[in-house]
Amino acid sequence: MNTFLRNSFILLAAGALAVSCADYNETYDFTAQPDPSFVEPYKDLNPVKSYINRDTYPNMTLGALLKVADFNKQELAHAATVTNFDNVTFGTTLMSGSIVNAKGVMNFLDMSDLLAHVQEIGYEVYGSPLFANANQADDWLSTLTAPIEIPVDFVEGKSVNFNDEPIGAYSGTSESGTATIAKYDDQNTLRIPGRAKVRIIEGFEVDPLARYTITFYAKADRDASFYIYFSGKKVDGSGSDGKWNVKAGKWQKIVVEAQSDPEESAGYLRIENGPSPVLYIQKVEVGYYPDNHRPQTEQEMNDTINYAINTWCDKLMDINQGRINMFDLIDEPLDNKAEMENGMYDLKHSTEKIFWQDVLGSENYAPVVSRVAADAFANHEGNSSELKFFISETGLENQKAFESLKYWIGIWDSKGAKIDGINAKLNLVYSEDAEKQAATVALLDNLLTNLASTGKLIRLSNFDIKYQNAEGTAVTADKITADQRQKLADFYGYVIKSYMNKIPHDKQAGMCKGNLADTTDPVGLWSVNTKKDWVRTATYKAFCDALSGQ
């Protein structure tokens, strides 16, 4: 235990504080240790969540964002969370991208541990997004939706018999050195001198997905070695540095298996001869197996994606066993750079990765995934009457973004999707520039009014406020003054009170703090001193005051 906390506990034991450590951090039958630090002037404040009037605000909750590893350590961040907040959420660390590998193996060990602990202490978890465009199991989806292998036949391609060529200059491409058609062993052959680079066959197109077989016969009067390149790609032989070797005095059949460089469309095989003997070439043939894959049909792709959706939801809800009953169903679906003909923003789409909506169809996206997820929840000990699904989105202070999300939710609702609420991710900055700050307040007020108009449950997340001076420069946690910290705290209080006043009480799904303690920015309810102790800030008091209606 560090010195600061040890001294705090000594003071507690001596009766210096009127309230015991356990009173601050007791949850259910569990006592969180170590308890967050208390120092003047905020030592006498109670846990933040205790200031909510549950009679007036029955649905109001406070959430905290943590990494799974930090929660499972059951150290300071864990204690601060269960002491002061009603629930915890784990962001991307419980999304499929962190759980499912390329082969579809799902690692729920961390989730299983935290849910066992949550159940033991009577705590609550707000579920990570079930479906999104980022932090998804992209490798698994790529594996599932890969082209299907099909049988193909070998195709005979171009061939060259140098007996059909007249003796003299070589009509093909010599990139360096001078190759000729010469009489050798009573036949016309392609003669390649030392250090020459010669294409022994060319003039055909290549498919980078096809597998080519090139055969030719080579002979030299002395042992020879050379490099081979096929359509822009080096093909290694069994000799040193990938060279191909020919023993002296005997015609030797060379078989080259290769694919072309993806950027090359011209077909050729080039020999780069070594510094020593002349190499003689005869009877070159090219054949290939065409690409033995075909894309999945539209129906196959739809079946594949539905399999992925059902498998992911079933395995997740099997581990969950009804313990998490509030989830972000879909995370950040809007593309604010893609405007449809009706003026609304389109959903995100991709030609490089598998996006659920690209296969299911934009209008069917939420109806399909909500049905599958809700069924899986019910099938694994979940109480369907308690299940709530949210659509989470950022940038909703932008009027068009809000209207676009409302538009899509309306379509999904009409098609039977289960969408209970909106999780609005905040992007707030307090500015010492009065004009900028007034604009921020106006945007916030308008956002809350808009959200209230939807009739959905409303949750605010990413509730961190950064601080800028009048010139627009960020004020860091190590530089912020007491006066600046108080201004920041007052704005935190304003946001909380605005939410509690503007969102109908029965539609409040709570607020979620992004960072509990300061980062480089002064965003925390706690600052972190040089001994790494957490020290309550003016923001802590602002939370308490705002929640209590002061």
Per-residue pLDDT of the chain in tens (550 residues, 90 and over written 9)? 333 332 332 222 222 222 333 334 445 556 665 556 666 789 889 999 999 999 999 999 999 999 999 999 998 899 999 999 999 999 999 999 999 999 999 999 999 999 999 999 999 999 999 999 999 999 999 999 999 999 999 999 999 999 999 999 999 999 999 999 999 999 999 999 999 999 999 999 999 999 999 999 999 999 999 999 999 999 999 999 999 999 999 999 999 999 999 999 999 999 999 887 999 999 999 999 999 999 999 999 999 999 999 999 999 999 999 999 999 999 999 999 999 999 999 999 999 999 999 999 999 999 999 999 999 999 999 999 999 999 999 999 999 999 999 999 999 999 999 999 999 999 999 999 999 999 999 999 999 999 999 999 999 999 999 999 999 999 999 999 999 999 999 999 999 999 999 999 999 999 999 999 999 999 999 998 877 888 999 999 999 999 998 7
What is the C-alpha to C-alpha distance for residues 397 and 440, in angstroms, rounded to an integer? 9
In the β-sheet with 124-126, what is the strand arrangement from edge to edge? 124-126, 87-89, 62-65, 508-513, 457-461, 421-425, 388-394, 326-331, 131-132
Q: In 295-372, which ranges are E strands?
A: 326-331, 334-339, 345-347
* pLDDT in the model for residue 17: 27
Question: By the 8 A CB rule, do 26 and 16 touch?
Answer: no
* pLDDT in the model for residue 9: 28
Question: By the 8 A CB rule, do 541 and 45 touch?
Answer: yes
* pLDDT in the model for residue 20: 31
Which residues lie across from 228 on neighbouring strands? 235, 271
- What kind and span of H or E run contains 523? none
Q: Annotate 354-373 with DSSP letters as a single string.
A: --HHHHH-GGGHHHHHHHHH
Place of tokens 């916030």: 444
pTM exceeds 0.85 for this model: no
* pLDDT in the model for residue 13: 28
* pLDDT in the model for residue 168: 96
Degrees (nearest 5) of the Cα angle 469, 475, 480?
Answer: 105
Give the three-class secondary structure for 338. strand
Single out the residue of 407, 406, 429, 409 nearest to residue 417, CA to CA.
409
Cα–Cα distances (Å) from 73 to 67, 406, 445, in that order, read 10, 40, 39
- The alpha carbon dihedral of 290, 291, 297, 300 has a sign of positive
First vs last Cα of the chain: how many Å apart?
36
Q: Tell me the chain's radius of gyration from C-alpha atoms.
A: 34
Phi-psi label, residue 27: left if phi above 0, alpha if psi -120 to 50, beta otherwise: beta
Beta-carbon contacts of residue 298 (< 8 Å; ≥ 6 apart) = none
